[in-house]
Amino acid sequence: MSSSLNELRILQNGYKQIIKKWPIDKLRPTHCMSLSLQAYSDEQFSNLENLAAPEIESRVKETKNQLLFLQKIFNNEAQKSFTISEKMLSPVSDPKYYSKILTHIEDVSAGKGRRPGNWLVRYLTK
């Protein structure tokens, strides 16, 4: 049981490392994935000494899988494995569609974007 507790502590450190490295969402800085991961980690790794041996073993197995998948998401493994063709990135109907979206996201995150609201609101409040 003591070795399982030690293994959980090591996994907890893995969670902490992922949380520290997780990028901040520039569009929604108060709704970051790292904050959710931190809350989940705090809940999962509190009161470990009070758990029964089968529960600890189950939690070790579950946490290993979760940490593995978090690392895969963080490292963009799906994006690296499944590349998107240029044809998909530049649709015939609007070849610059995705680049315009990325530019807009960068502008909004830098504070240069348009005010929120629909076109009518913007028109009436000029």
**8 A C-beta contact, residue 37 and residue 19:** yes
pLDDT digits (tens, 9 = 90+) for 39-75: 999 998 888 888 888 888 999 999 999 999 999 999 9
Please state, rounded to an integer, the average pLDDT across all residues of the chain: 86
> Which pLDDT belongs to residue 18?
94
**Report field, pTM of the whole predicted structure over 0.85:** no
Confidence band, pLDDT 50/70/90 cuts, at residue 15: very high
Domain ranges of the chain: 2-81, 86-124
- With 0-12 / 13-18 / 19 or more C-beta atoms within 10 angstroms meaning exposed / middle / buried, residue 33 is middle
